[in-house]
Amino acid sequence: MQPGDALLDLGLDSLSQLTLLSELRGRLEMSIPAEPIDGLTTLGELAELLDEANVFDLSPAI
């Protein structure tokens, strides 16, 4: 998986995307808005969204 991979590229249909959001919300105990996330959302964009929520540091590996 690469940061540029879209959720659809990973085989996540709309129901799977909602499941992913639900799991992230529950496990991280935070509110993640569903509006900016769709099948074209990349893993990098999802990481930025989580980073902006100050959940954990997603610094690139060196």
- Residue 59, in any domain of the structure: no
Q: What is the pTM of this model?
A: 0.66
54 or 18, higher pLDDT = 18
> What is the number of structural domains in the chain?
1
Q: What are phi and psi of 61, to 5 degrees?
A: -70, 140
pLDDT at 59: 56
In a domain, residue 30? The reply is yes
Which domain does 35 fall in, by range?
A: 14-52
* Residue 19 forms part of a structural domain: yes
Question: Is residue 62 in some structural domain?
Answer: no
Query: Residue 39: inside a domain, yes or no?
Result: yes
Split at pLDDT 50, 70, 90, the class of 48 is confident
Q: Which amino acid is at 35?
A: E
- Average pLDDT of the chain is 79
